[in-house]
Structure 1
Amino acid sequence: MADDNRVYLFDSTLRDGAQTQGVDFSVNDKLAIAQALDRLGVDYVEGGWPGANPTDDAFFGAPPAFNRARFVAFGMTRRPGRSAANDPGLNALLNAKTPAVCMVGKSWDFHVDVALGISRSENIDMIRESVAHAGKSVDEVMFDAEHFFDGYKANPQYALDCALAAYQAGARWIVLCDTNGGTLPHEVERIVGEVTAKIPGARLGIHCHNDTENAVANSLAAVRAGVRQIQGTLNGLGERCGNANLVSLIPSLMLKSNFKVGLTEQDLKQLTHVSRLLDERLNRAPNRSAAYVGESAFAHKGGLHVSAVEKDPRTYEHIEPELVGNRRHIVVSDQSGRANILARFREVGLDVEADDGKVAALVETVKLREYEGYAYDGAEASFELLARRALGSVPGYFRLARFRVMDERRWNVRGELVTESEATVTIELKGEQLMTVATGNGPVNALDTALRKALLPHYPELGDMRLVDFKVRILTPQAGTEAITRVMIESADNAGERWSTVGVSPNIIDASYEALNDAITWKLLKSGAKSAE
């Protein structure tokens, strides 16, 4: 028997979140975020709109392997004047071969009259026929009733008829959308309550935008009124003011209600990590004031607050920060952090006793390095190496003696202005010094090529390793050209393994080398390579 209190989580970061101004996901970004969502434990991951752009086509062409989540493709109902079987857009949606699809259709008579310019009855036919046709090809069909709340307030019967058409045609979920984001919580709760008289709440979902800063509140109000699916995005990404923030909704449901979701307590401890991983993929600073996961969410500065928190954190904290993978931050003493570090140890397979003195030392090292600009939430491989080095368990594969990088900008024989890079690397390996020289299309590429040229004869394990993403962030822009730089590198191999590393330095080449060195060392460690020492 189904659990009446079970709420299903539908993540739309990779589709609706991609409509955020300034957000442009690469295929690699989508893969990394989708896999993080699967590990977190959400029920549905919406990948994008097949046929809409080359990025989505490439993503659906080589989709991630999920262990927990169900992969969803997004599209729209058939167009006017076409049959469902002969509509190119609907066919592209179904040809994505995902186990579930979510299609959008109008439910506001104003939009049908003005935006579509068709009869209201034809719009209902489009919904019914599209859902029924899709149901023959996929396991699960969802219908997003666009502008449902505005439509219901204008013409309740017509908006309800649109939702009923999808329900009667076999849609698993009929999702009520506050597309313009202007509905308030008391309106959502009243309208959803009226809809549940016709459509069971166990078949209803909610999709809220945040234009009145009420997307999370509206989603919770809808659940109270009976819906059992919530659609949202990580960190509230989305068009205009964003979507309902799943990072806030998940702990609110798990820790502050009687409703259940598909995450365990251990999954919940990943929440801060996943939130910050997204920001690192977008190359932007996390929101310090974000609920639950922000750096300031459990920060206390001076006076009565600190005194009370040191006696009992419940005096000024609504939950324990470790429950969501965050940490308490006492500005004057900067204590805690151990539980979070131990949780990360477990993630990378390190079994360390909580009272091990090396743990306390590592906590302080992480704090210091994060103060210097390192970000380990988006660089798991660098964190694992840092932890293993602190515990004395990383072999010495090679040691850098020196490197030099030169750039030359000149006119070639064809009269073209070109810039060439050349790197010279000297490493110590097996008691010898090896020097290699390589060119590249940039200083980092040249350095990477020279380093591999020296190492590959001794470590053939590096043969299938490649750099797939490279991000640079200026941490102190006020310093101008003397600014501190953080470099994030993502690497991959032919086995499908992906790992991220970080380097920080006032010198961008030095920061890049640090990240490259970690990337190569992590690959050798995971490949079981023998130490050169």
Structure 2
Amino acid sequence: MGVKSIEIMDTTLRDGEQTSGVSFSASEKLTIAKLLLEELKVDRIEIASARVSEGEFQAVKSVTDWAAENDFLEAIEVLTFVDNGISIDWMKRAGAKVQNLLTKGSLNHLTHQLKKTKEQHFKEIKKSISEASKNGIETNVYLEDWSNGMRNSKEYVFDFLAFLATQPVKRIMLPDTLGVLAPAESFAFVTEIRAKYPELHFDFHAHNDYDLSVANAINAVEAGIDGLHLTINGMGERAGNAPLASVVAVLKDFMPEVEIGVHEKALNTVSKLVETFSGFRIPVNKPVVGDNVFTQTAGIHADGDNKNNLYFNDLLPERFGRKRKYALGKSSGKANIQKNLQELGLHLNDEDLKKVTQRIIELGDKKQLVTKEDLPYIISDVLDSNLIEETVFINSYVLTHSKGLNPSTTVSMTIKGESFEEHAQGDGQFDAFMNAIKKVYKRKDLELPKLIDYAVRIPPGSSSDALCETIITWKTNEEQFKTRGLDSDQTVSAIKATEKMLNII
């Protein structure tokens, strides 16, 4: 049997946008649409529902204008409704050429939601398809609640398919709308439909309510499906849709008999951009795109990676535009630390390496997050060495916060052996501290970088005495960089992050 090509349709901009609290602006939709088609190279994208709002109309218009100029118009799809031509009119004005018509794929939905007979429903669908054809619009048909239809009203589903087989429809789309299928059912249902209609094009659309969307999608492919609907980061309502990255990785690694055009190297870029635009955070342990999935924590793994890549599998980070990291914490061994030192271009003898390893284990025991960037400071701290020269020291400070009075700070610090003391007020204790530091630097005719972001976090579920990590982003004329501070007191952790910044500059 030859290699079969599977169409990948991304519905992040339509079904994915139904994630609670997510709404993309017109410019964000256009940016994501371009990346999906030009960089990630999916075959088609579903970008909106017809008739939603004026804002949505303008967003669709901007995507179709771009697509028309760049030969992608056939790849742009819009969800439409059986509504006497209102959706078709909306599509025409928006410049879209492919409708994904939403119809009822289960007798239950038809009877209780539409309160119509199947004859009435089919007649209206026929009219909608014919209206679309007249206006140069191609039709794909969604059988909403198809999975329950196959379970509870199979005769209705097959009557529906017999009717659609007589219509000028390009694709028939089979959604597990409520995410209820088990993988064996996905395989059985698609196999049954394929056997009866080998010539028609069928898509499968999985939801993830039981965390089975990837398995269901793969079973649909094994049963002979022609296309899959996926979303970036598994976005979608409730538990989301089948995640594109995971499905693509499984298809490429386990199913040599199928072929997809997706360009894996762009996955990380697109995933991060969608995360930023949507505010929908990717869990750190999410396969392929999660922050931690290419991070080895155990020292034994780093050691094995140094010895013929003993702990690698086929999911190499470079495939997806990423790099392997070696975490530093209480289970780190010398090998983890050596990997991080290599990346920083630093070398330690065995004795020194032992001491640094011990210090990192102690910090890991305290729940402290140790990063590659922290290594030089730890080395400097532990070895009292000259690897990194610390020339600025915050010797002591007094922070005051009294009701009815402005917060104030007195700071004593040393810069290259020269001592300074300043007092300042501010909007808060840290602001007062920064104002005092600025006074010192003004005396030396030096400028401080701008503080552009300030993030504080404690481990989830911690109590009020937890370690508190402050990450501050600074900006100079040339570059942007981050420093971290860790303490059980929030202001002190910010001061520690600032002291690191003062040494870096």
Instruction: Please report the TM-score for the alignment, with normalisation by the length of structure 2.
Output: 0.64
Partner of 1:46: 46
Check whether the contact 1:167–1:174 (CA below 8 A) recurs between aligned residues.
no
Check whether the contact 1:182–1:211 (CA below 8 A) recurs between aligned residues.
yes
Letter in 1 for 2:306: E
Partner of 1:293: 289
Partner of 1:347: none
Against the structure 1 CA distance between its residues 63 and 316, is the aligned structure 2 distance closer, same or farther, given a 3 Å change threshold?
closer
Partner of 1:333: 337
Against the structure 1 CA distance between its residues 164 and 486, is the aligned structure 2 distance closer, same or farther, given a 3 Å change threshold?
farther
Check whether the contact 1:207–1:231 (CA below 8 A) recurs between aligned residues.
yes
Check whether the contact 1:216–1:244 (CA below 8 A) recurs between aligned residues.
yes
Q: Tell me the distance in 1 between the aligned counterparts of 2:203 and 2:91.
A: 21
Selected match of 1:75 from 65, 75, 79:
79
Query: Within the alignment, does 1:212 sit opposite 2:210 as a pair?
Result: yes
Partner of 2:456: 476
Deviations 1:251-280 (A, max 9, x none): 2222331211123xxx31111121111112
Partner of 2:101: 103
Q: CA deviation at 1:333?
A: 3.1
Deviations 1:148-192 (A, max 9, x none): 110111111211222333332121110101000011110010000
Q: CA RMSD in A?
A: 3.4
Aligned to 2:337, what secondary structure does the other structure show? coil
Against the structure 1 CA distance between its residues 311 and 238, is the aligned structure 2 distance closer, same or farther, given a 3 Å change threshold?
same
Q: Tell me the distance in 1 between the aligned counterparts of 2:12 and 2:158.
A: 28
Query: Within the alignment, does 1:29 sit opposite 2:25 as a pair?
Result: no
Against the structure 1 CA distance between its residues 484 and 284, is the aligned structure 2 distance closer, same or farther, given a 3 Å change threshold?
farther
Partner of 1:309: 305
Query: Within the alignment, does 1:256 sit opposite 2:254 as a pair?
Result: yes
Q: CA deviation at 1:206?
A: 0.3
Against the structure 1 CA distance between its residues 337 and 49, is the aligned structure 2 distance closer, same or farther, given a 3 Å change threshold?
farther
- Number of residues of Structure 1 aligned to a counterpart in Structure 2: 358
Query: Within the alignment, does 1:322 sit opposite 2:318 as a pair?
Result: yes
Q: Tell me the distance in 2 between the aligned counterparts of 1:90 and 1:309.
A: 57
Against the structure 1 CA distance between its residues 167 and 336, is the aligned structure 2 distance closer, same or farther, given a 3 Å change threshold?
farther
Q: CA deviation at 1:33?
A: 1.1
Against the structure 1 CA distance between its residues 300 and 483, is the aligned structure 2 distance closer, same or farther, given a 3 Å change threshold?
closer
Q: Tell me the distance in 2 between the aligned counterparts of 1:109 and 1:163.
A: 13
Q: Tell me the distance in 2 between the aligned counterparts of 1:475 and 1:284.
A: 18
Deviations 1:85-142 (A, max 9, x none): xx32332234432232211110110111101111121112222332233233346321
Structure-to-structure mapping, 1:21-420, within 5 angstroms: 21-38=20-37, 39-63=39-63, 65-66=66-67, 67=70, 69=72, 70-79=74-83, 84=84, 87-138=85-136, 140-200=138-198, 203-258=201-256, 259-263=258-262, 267-283=263-279, 285-313=281-309, 315-331=311-327, 332-333=336-337, 335=339, 368=373
Q: Tell me the distance in 2 between the aligned counterparts of 1:134 and 1:487.
A: 55
Q: Tell me the distance in 1 between the aligned counterparts of 2:62 and 2:286.
A: 33
Instruction: Please report the TM-score for the alignment, with normalisation by the length of structure 1.
Output: 0.61
Check whether the contact 2:22–2:280 (CA below 8 A) recurs between aligned residues.
no
Q: Tell me the distance in 1 between the aligned counterparts of 2:211 and 2:278.
A: 23
Q: Tell me the distance in 1 between the aligned counterparts of 2:472 and 2:53.
A: 33
Q: Higher Cα Rg: structure 1 or 2?
A: 2
Q: CA deviation at 1:217?
A: 1.0
Against the structure 1 CA distance between its residues 314 and 78, is the aligned structure 2 distance closer, same or farther, given a 3 Å change threshold?
same
Check whether the contact 1:18–1:24 (CA below 8 A) recurs between aligned residues.
yes
Against the structure 1 CA distance between its residues 482 and 297, is the aligned structure 2 distance closer, same or farther, given a 3 Å change threshold?
closer
Q: CA deviation at 1:240?
A: 0.6
Aligned to 1:269, what secondary structure does the other structure show? helix
Q: Tell me the distance in 2 between the aligned counterparts of 1:21 and 1:312.
A: 45
Against the structure 1 CA distance between its residues 482 and 152, is the aligned structure 2 distance closer, same or farther, given a 3 Å change threshold?
closer
Letter in 2 for 1:20: T
Check whether the contact 2:49–2:80 (CA below 8 A) recurs between aligned residues.
no
Aligned to 1:476, what secondary structure does the other structure show? strand
Letter in 2 for 1:60: V
Q: CA deviation at 1:199?
A: 2.2
Partner of 1:18: 17
Q: Structure 1 vs Structure 2: percent identity of aligned residues?
A: 25
Letter in 1 for 2:146: F
Q: CA deviation at 1:76?
A: 3.1
Letter in 1 for 2:272: R
Check whether the contact 1:15–1:48 (CA below 8 A) recurs between aligned residues.
yes
Against the structure 1 CA distance between its residues 35 and 316, is the aligned structure 2 distance closer, same or farther, given a 3 Å change threshold?
same
Check whether the contact 2:208–2:240 (CA below 8 A) recurs between aligned residues.
yes
Segments of 5+ residues of structure 1 without an aligned counterpart are 340-365, 372-471, 489-500, 507-533
Q: Tell me the distance in 1 between the aligned counterparts of 2:135 and 2:57.
A: 19
